[in-house]
Structure formats: C-alpha cells, structure tokens
Chain A
Amino acid sequence: MYEGVVQNLIDELGRLPGVGPKSAQRIAFHLLAADPADVLRLSQALIEVKEKVRFCKTCGNVAEEELCRICRDPRRDENVICVVEESKDVVAIEKTREFRGKYHVLGGAISPIEGVGPEDLRIRELMQRLADGAVTELILATDPNLEGEATATYLARLVKPMGLTVTRLASGLPVGGDLEYADEVTLGRAFEGRRLLDV
C-alpha cells in the first residue's frame, strides 16, 4: 500500500476494464514520472469526454451533439439499419467502407445468466425507428458468439411481422470472437456475403 493520493490513483486505475492491480501500479508510476503537461492533457481529455460526449438520441452511438455524425449525414441510406452491440462495433464496420446505411447501437447483448434481458437493451427504440416502414433492410451485426447469435434470433423473431428483409453477417466470421477484433477485410466480406435470416 502507498500513501493516500498515490494509492487513490492506483485504486481508480484498477477499476478500469482490463487493468489489474499490477498494471494499475505501473500506469500510476508512469504518470508520476511523466511530464506535467502530458498528464494535464490526459486529465483534460477525461473531463471533456464526460462533458461533451453523449449518446445519439436516434441510434445510441456516441455523439457530440444530439445526433451522431452518421445520423446527421444526409448521404447515408435511411432505408438500411445495421444493428450492433457497442459503439466500438460502429467504428470497426466504418473502417471497412462497405456500409452506407445507418446504425442502431443496442448497448450490449441479451445475457439472461448475467441478468440482461431484452428490456435492458435499446430494443424499444429500434422498434420505434422501424415503425414508419421506411426501413427495408435490417442487418444484424451482433457479435459472432453465442450471446450475439441469441440476440440476433430474438430480434429477427420480433421484427418478423413487419415484413422487412432481415440479414445476418456471413458466417465467414469465425464464431466465438468479438466483432471489434475482426480485421477489415474479413468484416467487409462478411458484409458483402450477408445472408437472409429466417426464423
């Protein structure tokens, strides 16, 4: 254990995802030794991100205004919505340059064992977006693992009465992984080769 403020910093860093006690200690001592200007920039970036960034009212993606950059862009196709689990999946798909439609960020996947049911995700908001009938294709790009597949099954069944085309990314994506780790080429191919999902 270290003296008050240093231990405080280690504790706070240790609460971040993927940072264990040893890494927290290493980062803390790196910051202690770093140039004060660098640390100030980091702390300002942290404060700014909480002050300025919020979630898009329409799609749930991170946004600096009421709507995110993609929802504001008039060149994006309004008729196709790609459903993903997290904002970082939007980033991964944007890198492929394969997709010109809009997104819907669920905020996770259905995971009954962790107590996450459909009502805990932004599914009601998705249904509202589909209500006016303008959307013709819904692409389900949840993670290619069990929870992602189950979430896709749930959504496909839910929207079935609306009669729109529901597709799932091609299973060329190796199953078991997180979408964000797919390389651009594989993800791009998965988009091109998406298949009709019929439940």
Chain B
Amino acid sequence: MVPYGRMSVVSLYRDEGIVLRTQKLGEADRIVTILTRRTGRVRAAAKGVRKTKSRFGARLEPFTHVDVQLYERRSLDLITQAETIRPYGEPLVSDYPRYTAGTAMLETTEKLTEEKEPALRQFLLLVGGLRTLVDGSHEPRLVLDAFLLRSLSVAGWAPALDECARCGSRGGLRGFAIASGGAVCGTCRPPGSASPAPQTLELMLALLRGEWTVADESETRHRVECSGLVAAYLQWHLEHGIRSLKHVERV
C-alpha cells in the first residue's frame, strides 16, 4: 500500500486518454504511450501486460480510450489501474483500411504532441476522429485527411486554401506550394509547385471545415490528389515524417 503521506499525494495521478502506441519492455511488460486529456502525452510502464492472464487485458492496447491511474516516477511513470471508456480498436481491426487510417492518426498525434505538455485540442480532435472513423459514415481516407488538416491547424500550420498564401488574393488560385504555406495565385506561384484541380482545393477546405456533404460527393481523382497534398504538406512540417501513411489503404 502507498502510505497517505504528502509524497504519495504528489506522485499518484489519474487521467483519461487514448493509447497511441505500445512497445515491448523486458520479458512481459510494455511501454504504453497515451495522449491524456489533462497531462498531455505520457509514456508509462505497464507490468505483466503481455501475459495472457494480465489484469489489464486489452485495456492498454492502441486506440483504447482509457481511464488510468499512474504512479509518477523519475524515469517512466507506472500504470497502476486502467478502465476502458471506449475500445475503438475492436471495431477497427476487423476493417483493414479503417485500421490503417486510424494508425496514421495515432502516429501523427504522437509526433505533434510533447511529453507532459497538455494538448487538449489535439486530444479532442483525436477522440472525434476515431469516433467518426468507427461509425463508418464516411470513407476512411477522407476521415484521415480531415483529421490531418485539422491537426495541422491546431499546431498553427493550417494551409491557405481559399486565398493565396503569399498575397492573400482570393481569385485565380492556380497552384499549391508547400513551402509558401498552401494555395498560391498565378502571380505568386513559385516554379515547381503543384497544380491541383480547383475541386481538390475545395475538397481540402471542406475537410478542414467539416463540410461532409461536399466531401462525401467528391470524385475519387480529387480525393487521391487531396491525400497526396495533405501527406506532402504534413511530412514537410514534421521533419521525421509519418511512417504509417504509406500503409494506409484507400477503399
């Protein structure tokens, strides 16, 4: 038992979060990375979790929305209790394209957050994104691209889509220049920038704003172009890139 002293009050904390990643540790333990609502991204050890009789069961698997109690330690915090709030992983693993889209959401969230720095907006975005992915109302790659665009926006990197990223002009958007910050007009367009279809820029804007009626009616070729631009834009802002993006399958 932990004694009821001043130290123990400081070192035990409780939070809710989404499990982003698990890694093997030693013989039967795992390091679990969780984006929590209040504490931000936490890396913690879960003892014995790989044993099939573990009391944690599937509660600390990726995608699980979990209520956890942690013991703060100098190196890795220790998970002492875990209760499932909602197991998003279960419905996702039976649908491979949705699963791969979800994995890219988790990896992006991990890369966009810092250890123990509260990131409430990113947390809420992730919960909303997983809920939408699981309810099956939209094509998974669209859900992922909407999530990525909004995550970039939360990080302060929203691409310009309805005005030129350089001069602010609202008409004649001809290109998409990642280094300039998004759509560019014919005058500002740097050499070598992409020339997406106007419908692709409309789709990106709809995804950023959550206008699903527009997004759901889009054509496949514009969706493909949109995914390519979003991925390139994201990789440019995140130096190390998102490994799982290339494994995402389009339905």
Measured CB to CB, the residues of A under 8 A from B are 17-18, 20, 110, 112-115, 117, 144-146, 149-150, 153-154, 157, 173-178, 181-183, 186, 199
> Across the interface, do B247 and A112 meet the contact criterion of CB distance under 8 Å?
yes
Residue B52 CB within 8 A of the other chain = yes
Instruction: Identify which of B21, B50, B104 contacts A178 (C-beta below 8 A).
Output: B50
Instruction: Identify which of A18, A112, A177, A199 contacts B54 (C-beta below 8 A).
Output: A177
Given contacts A113-B106, A145-B58, A149-B94, 11 further A-B contacts (CB under 8 A): A112-B103, A112-B248, A113-B107, A115-B244, A144-B52, A174-B53, A174-B57, A175-B61, A176-B49, A177-B54, A181-B50
A-B contact pairs, 7 of them (CB 8 A): A18-B27, A113-B243, A117-B246, A150-B96, A176-B50, A178-B51, A181-B52
Instruction: Identify which of B96, B104, B248 contacts A157 (C-beta below 8 A).
Output: B96
In whole Å, how far is B140's beta carbon from the nearest beta carbon of chain A? 13
> Across the interface, do A186 and B52 meet the contact criterion of CB distance under 8 Å?
yes
With the chains together, A182 CA to B28 CA distance in Å?
Answer: 12
Given A18-B27, A178-B50, check contact A114 B243 (CB 8 Å). yes
> Across the interface, do B61 and A176 meet the contact criterion of CB distance under 8 Å?
yes
Residues of A close to B96: CB separation below 8 A: 150, 153-154, 157
Residue B232 CB within 8 A of the other chain = no
Chain B minimum-CB-distance residue to A143: B50
> Across the interface, do A145 and B247 meet the contact criterion of CB distance under 8 Å?
no
Residues of B close to A144: CB separation below 8 A: 52
Residues of A close to B62: CB separation below 8 A: 113, 146
Chain A minimum-CB-distance residue to B63: A146
> Across the interface, do A177 and B103 meet the contact criterion of CB distance under 8 Å?
no
> Across the interface, do B61 and A145 meet the contact criterion of CB distance under 8 Å?
yes
Residues of B close to A113: CB separation below 8 A: 21, 62, 103, 106-107, 243-244
In whole Å, how far is B75's beta carbon from the nearest beta carbon of chain A? 11
In whole Å, how far is A94's beta carbon from the nearest beta carbon of chain B? 17
Residues of A close to B28: CB separation below 8 A: 178, 181
In whole Å, how far is B199's beta carbon from the nearest beta carbon of chain A? 29
> Across the interface, do B52 and A153 meet the contact criterion of CB distance under 8 Å?
no
In whole Å, how far is B45's beta carbon from the nearest beta carbon of chain A? 12
Of the four ranges (under 10, 10 to 19, 20 to 34, 35 or more), the interface on chain B belongs to 35 or more
Contact digits for B216-251, partner A, Cβ 8 Å, 1 yes 0 no: 000000000000000000000000000110111000
> Across the interface, do A174 and B246 meet the contact criterion of CB distance under 8 Å?
no
In whole Å, how far is A102's beta carbon from the nearest beta carbon of chain B? 24
In whole Å, how far is B174's beta carbon from the nearest beta carbon of chain A? 35
Contact digits for B32-74, partner A, Cβ 8 Å, 1 yes 0 no: 0000000000000000011111101111111100000000000
Residue B3 CB within 8 A of the other chain = no
With the chains together, A154 CA to B163 CA distance in Å?
Answer: 42
> Across the interface, do A177 and B27 meet the contact criterion of CB distance under 8 Å?
no
Residues of A close to B27: CB separation below 8 A: 18
Residues of B close to A173: CB separation below 8 A: 52
Given A112-B244, A153-B93, check contact A178 B103 (CB 8 Å). no
With the chains together, A154 CA to B92 CA distance in Å?
Answer: 12
Chain B minimum-CB-distance residue to A20: B26
Residues of A close to B89: CB separation below 8 A: 146
> Across the interface, do A176 and B246 meet the contact criterion of CB distance under 8 Å?
no
> Across the interface, do B100 and A199 meet the contact criterion of CB distance under 8 Å?
no
Chain B minimum-CB-distance residue to A119: B247
With the chains together, A154 CA to B62 CA distance in Å?
Answer: 18
Chain B minimum-CB-distance residue to A18: B26
Instruction: Identify which of A112, A145, A181 contacts B100 (C-beta below 8 A).
Output: A112
Chain A minimum-CB-distance residue to B107: A113
With the chains together, A177 CA to B54 CA distance in Å?
Answer: 8
In whole Å, how far is A36's beta carbon from the nearest beta carbon of chain B? 29
> Across the interface, do A175 and B99 meet the contact criterion of CB distance under 8 Å?
no
Residues of A close to B107: CB separation below 8 A: 112-113
In whole Å, how far is B39's beta carbon from the nearest beta carbon of chain A? 21
With the chains together, A114 CA to B242 CA distance in Å?
Answer: 10
Instruction: Identify which of B52, B104, B243, B248 contacts A177 (C-beta below 8 A).
Output: B52
With the chains together, A67 CA to B247 CA distance in Å?
Answer: 32
With the chains together, A117 CA to B103 CA distance in Å?
Answer: 12
